[in-house]
Amino acid sequence: MNFEKITVCLDMHGCPNKCKHCWVGITPNGRLSIDDLKFVAKNFRPFTHDLEVTDRYREEDYPDNYKELWEITSALSDNKTPHFENISYWRAVRDSAYIPWLYSLGVRAAQLTIFGDEETTDYFVGRKDAFNEILQTIEILLANKIAPRIQVFIYKNNILQLPYILQLVEFLDLENKCAGFDKEFSFFLHQGSCSGENEQFYDDWITEEDIEKIPPKLRDFTIKHFNVQNIVDVLGETEQSLYARLIHNSSHMDSIITDNPVFFIDKNFNVYPNYETPSPMWCLGNLKTEGAEKALNAYVNNSSVAQLTMATTPINEMVKKHGNPDSLRLFGEWDYKNHLLLKHLRTK
Ligand code: SF4
């Protein structure tokens, strides 16, 4: 068995936050060692000539030895992807060397997620002071010529915070300050996928009537960010119309198998495809007790409960059992199918 590329992401230290929208799910943090990371790399090494190793699938750069981990993962990888534009504001306000280090790696834009004002953002992040840390991080980023990019998750219970967020963007003068070092400020909003922790907001999911509550400037930023024609291209269509279309679709969900898979490995060395929330339904095996070959075989043979269900259960069967033909909630088609799959898996 040989893959064009394999990326393995070991959840070595977890995350300081407990975001209520987190698609990878809130699980206890681990404290894995560099030897654990090397163990993972060694196990997957025989199955590709292009292995990439990362020390996380949750918060970037959370452990104190984040620089060392960057060096080690680079050495263990054949081709290292440049540092993502996701960063740790937890670290940014505690470690003055962090943002300059990101700049030295070539990071020129950094994404930060807010949900509204201080109270709202702290509530959604699940940690007091999160909002203030984000504001401090924006200042540090600007001082280091890195453009902040603001992401907002919207639900019925925070959409009326959008005018406040617009005021904040204008008060902080983010467009002009980014232009001052030849970068473009960007912003986007969306509802995220209805999976992981975010599934808890199904009852608060936005509907068509909420679109007019989005301030035009934030709508236009979002359209530009996603390079689409209309905000509906981002927010999707009603569950009602998806139901009406997909109830006639007797095909199966698309296979997730590729020649360059990404695998999540949790702190107990369970292996999952990077597709939906790591959970027993997606588990491909345990690296310590069963090895990488078993997990890779499970992956290519659709052996996990979730992959098997995708390959064998017609879409219209899941729609009929779990869809709501009267719901005006907005979903993209891909997200909606995965939402139904999750509900279906729970019945197994
Ligand atoms: S969304 Fe990101 S920052 Fe929030 S809990 Fe999940 S991994 Fe951590």
Residue range 34-48, pLDDT digits in tens? 999 999 999 999 999
- CATH code assigned to 6-235+259-301: 3.20.20.70
For 101-124, write each residue's pLDDT tens digit: 999 999 999 999 999 999 999 999
pLDDT at 348: 79
Task: Read off the amino acid at residue 203.
Answer: D
Question: The tokens of 183 are what?
Answer: 């970068």
| Per-domain boundaries in the chain | 6-235+259-301, 236-252+313-348
| The ligand 1 atom nearest the CA atom of 17 | 5
pLDDT of 298 higher than 90: yes
Mean pLDDT of the chain, nearest integer: 97
Atom of ligand 1 lying closest to residue 24 CA: 6
Task: Please report which confidence band the pLDDT of residue 1 belongs to, taking 50, 70 and 90 as the band edges.
Answer: confident
- Ligand 1, atom 6: nearest CA belongs to which residue? 22
| Cα–Cα distance, 201 to 280 (Å, whole number) | 22
Q: Which of 316, 328, 325, 324 is nearest to 235 (CA)?
A: 328
Residue 47: half-sphere exposure toward Cβ, Cα within 13 Å: 23
| Stretch 195-205: mean pLDDT | 95
Ligand 1 centroid to 55 CA: how many Å? 15
Return the ligand 1 atom nearest residue 125 CA: 4
CA of 60 from ligand 1 middle (Å) equals 10
For ligand 1, mutation pick of 11, 17, 84 (most atoms within 8 Å of CB): 17
Q: What is the mean pLDDT of residues 194-204?
A: 95
> Relative to the CA of 15, which ligand 1 atom is closest?
8
What confidence tens digit (pLDDT) does each residue in 270-284 have? 999 999 999 999 999
The pLDDT of residue 142 is above 90: yes
Question: How high is the pLDDT of residue 293?
Answer: 98
Q: Which residues line ligand 1 (CB under 6 A)?
A: 15, 17-19, 22, 24, 58-59
Q: Tally the C-alpha atoms within 13 A of residue 335's C-alpha that lie toward its C-beta.
A: 22
**What percentage of residues in the chain have a pLDDT greater than 90?**
99
Residues 6+ apart with CB under 8 A from 8: 40, 41, 44, 51, 52, 53, 54, 262, 263, 265
The average pLDDT across 51-66 equals 97
Q: How much is the pLDDT for 286? A: 98
CA 60 – CA 92 distance, rounded (Å): 11
Distance 345 CA to ligand 1 centre (A): 24
Q: First-to-last CA distance in the chain?
A: 31
Q: How many angstroms separate the alpha carbon of residue 17 from the centre of ligand 1?
A: 6
- Enumerate long-range contacts of 291-297, CB under 8 Å, 24 or more apart: 291/43, 292/43, 292/44, 292/46, 292/47, 293/1, 293/47, 295/263, 295/271, 296/1, 296/3, 296/47, 297/1
Percent of the chain clearing pLDDT 70 (strictly above): 100
pLDDT in tens, 160-192: 999 999 999 999 999 999 999 999 999 999 999
* Ligand 1 midpoint to CA 88 (Å): 10
pLDDT-derived band at 289, boundaries 50, 70, 90 = very high
Decide if 150 contacts 164 (C-beta within 8 A): no
Position 145 scores a pLDDT of: 98
Residue 321 has pLDDT above 90, yes or no: yes
Say how many Å lie between the CA of residue 15 and the centre of ligand 1: 6
Res. 207: pLDDT tops 90: yes
pLDDT in tens, 232-266: 999 999 999 999 999 999 999 999 999 999 999 99
Given the CA of residue 58, which atom of ligand 1 is nearest to it? 7
The pLDDT score that the predictor gives to residue 185 is 98
Mean pLDDT of 86-90: 97
